[in-house]
Amino acid sequence: QIIFVKKAQEARSGQIVIADYDGQAYVKKFVHDNNGCRLVSLNKKYHDLPINEEHEMSLFGIVVL
């Protein structure tokens, strides 16, 4: 599949992002709520990736289409 990405270093909760997480690239939903920040897979077979001091995470951009 082809996706279009807008370069960004910040995202709002609920946006689909391209992120570098511990040296691996992911396409996931960014979620920020009362439970903290995490990257959530749209495929329920995969666990959430917590965003905290134990992991390195940076955004490449936000999926726009």
Task: Dig out the tokens for 21 from the structure.
Answer: 């997480």
Phi first, then psi, for residue 32 (nearest 5°) are -130, 115
Which DSSP state fits 15? -
pLDDT digits (tens, 9 = 90+) for 6-52: 999 999 999 999 999 999 999 999 999 999 999 999 999 999 999 99
Burial class (CB in 10 A: 0-12, 13-18, 19+), 40: middle
Residue given tokens 């995490």 in the structure block: 38
Q: What is the CATH number of domain 8-31+48-65?
A: 2.10.109.10
Residue type, 50: P
Distance CA 57, CA 65 (A): 23
Domain ranges of the chain: 8-31+48-65
pTM: 0.90
